[in-house]
């Protein structure tokens, strides 16, 4: 997959996996990684799907309606890519925190839903419930921050709360942060996510 990797100064820190929103690319979220942890390695990936020229991580049938078969296929593809990248760049595969926005947050949530060991934690900006009706793996020890907007036209408040419950019921440690805003990524939620990350003192 197309990506950038920037090696961090502190190898004990998690590798931050950056996943952009629809129409974005691997450069978009680099400033967020700087805000969250400027000592950590960063792997930022571009989604393999092109929707009318807009990169995405999986296909959709309509806005907010996911192509589940493709979602499952692309989730596995991304996980395999992460396994290979860990070998190529010599980072600890078991110490990775995803930072995703919108479509990127949805594929990060899907990694947590389908692959128990894919991530140690995740910062999800405006995620949706990626799939319903499946049993999640045991997510004990995983730390998840969700930023949601009270007026998000793409993801209702109920859906954000539902996602929180699904992760909690799978034993993850989840913080749901609300912004009085829509689907956009705000400076305030990035500041809250950074504060949350620092409070957990992530190390190897
Ligand atoms: C999705 O398709 O992942 C969601 O609708 C969010 C987005 O617009 O990317």
Give tens-digit pLDDT for 107-123. 999 999 999 999 999 99
Ligand 1 site-directed mutation target among 19, 71, 128, most atoms within 8 Å of CB:
128
127 CB-contact burial (10 Å; exposed 0-12 / middle 13-18 / buried 19+): buried
List 177's β-bridge partners, or say none: 147
**Is the pLDDT reported for residue 203 higher than 80?**
no
| Placement of tokens 């793409």 in the chain | 154
Alpha helices in the chain (DSSP H): 30-36, 68-89, 103-114, 157-169, 187-200
Query: What pTM does this model have?
Result: 0.97
CB 119 within 8 A of CB 112: yes
Distance CA 196, CA 75 (A): 26
Ligand 1 site-directed mutation target among 63, 100, 185, most atoms within 8 Å of CB:
63
> Which positions are annotated as active-site residues?
102, 152, 183
**Is the pLDDT reported for residue 204 higher than 60?**
no
Average pLDDT over residues 22-33: 98
């Amino acid at each position: 997959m197309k990506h950038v990797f920037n090696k961090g100064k502190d190898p004990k820190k998690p590798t931050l996996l950056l996943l952009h929103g629809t129409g974005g690319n691997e450069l978009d979220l680099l400033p967020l990684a700087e805000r969250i942890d400027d000592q950590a390695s960063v792997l930022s990936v571009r989604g393999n799907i092109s929707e009318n020229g807009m990169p995405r991580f999986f296909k959709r049938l309509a806005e907010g309606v996911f192509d589940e078969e493709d979602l499952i296929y692309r989730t596995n593809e991304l996980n395999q890519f992460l396994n290979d990248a860990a070998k190529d760049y010599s980072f600890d595969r078991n110490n990775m925190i995803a930072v995703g926005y919108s479509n990127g947050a949805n594929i990060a949530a899907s990694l947590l839903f389908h692959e128990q060991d894919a991530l140690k934690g995740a910062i999800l900006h405006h995620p949706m419930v990626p799939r319903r009706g499946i049993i999640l793996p045991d997510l004990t020890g995983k730390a998840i921050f969700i930023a949601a907007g009270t007026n998000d036209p793409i993801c209702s408040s109920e859906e954000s709360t539902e996602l929180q419950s699904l992760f909690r019921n799978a034993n993850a440690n989840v913080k749901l942060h609300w912004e009085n805003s829509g689907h956009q990524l705000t400076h305030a939620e990035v500041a809250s996510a950074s504060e949350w990350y620092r409070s957990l003192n992530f190390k190897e």
